[in-house]
Amino acid sequence: MKQRALLTKYPDPAQFILDYNPDLQFKIVRCNATHADLALNLEIPSLGLLASTYGDETPLEWLKIQFGTLNDFAEVSTKIAKTQLEELAAIFLSEYYYINAAEICFFIARFKSGQYGRFYGAIDPMKITSAMLEYTSERRRGIERHEREQYRIQRQKEIEERGNNSISYAEHLEQEKKLVENGDKDAIERASRRIGNFCLSTS
């Protein structure tokens, strides 16, 4: 998704924030989306695109809303502080500008479901940034699997098409015979070569 398309869909960044609200986190999980499904979806804006279209404030505010849901979710005595939340959002915008909004939601949902461990006593921003490193590794492997599968499907399709378009040797000779009978010079030359090769092989 490019700037013009994003502005057409969301002329007001507040509408984007409303559409990509925290409820989306587990909606994505429930629809069984994969890392590749989300990462390769060009209709979903990346953090970098949001920043270049609306300025840094929009993705930063959105990230703070998304990560802020961990305060309500995690049963710990010390919640993530406002300054920590702001710094965490800034780190994600800087380091993971290529990640799109749905992937951030997916990451947080996976975090909440225990995929990357749990908090002990306090919400630790370092735990979140470490988990994101694991997520990006999963993402890369998911994209590689998807690309291999797409290549396999394409190769299978090409093989099937060649099979559908191929003819038997007997059918080929029959076609050549008709071309010779119709006076096709190339076919006559090919037939002469075949006869010559046959004579040589039997002499």
Cα–chain center distance at 164: 31
Helices (H), 20-124: 24-30, 35-39, 47-54, 57-73, 82-95, 101-112
Residue 161 lies in a domain: no
Q: Note down the domain range covering 37.
A: 3-156
Whether 197 is in a domain gets the answer yes
CA 3 → CA 19, 49, 59, distances in Å? Answer: 17, 7, 14
Do 75 and 172 belong to one domain? Answer: no
Going residue by residue through the chain, which has 203 residues, state the pLDDT in tens, using 9 for 90 and above.
688 899 999 999 999 999 999 999 999 999 999 999 999 999 999 999 999 999 999 999 999 999 999 888 887 778 889 999 999 999 999 999 999 999 999 999 999 999 988 877 778 889 999 999 999 999 999 999 999 998 888 888 877 777 666 666 677 778 878 887 888 877 777 766 655 443 434 44
Statement: the pTM of the whole predicted model exceeds 0.85: no
Residue 175: inside a domain: yes
Residue 118 lies in a domain: yes
Compute the distance between CA of residue 142 and CA of residue 134 in angstroms, rounded to an integer.
12
Number of domains in the chain: 2
Residues 16 and 76 in one domain: yes
Residue 70 lies in a domain: yes
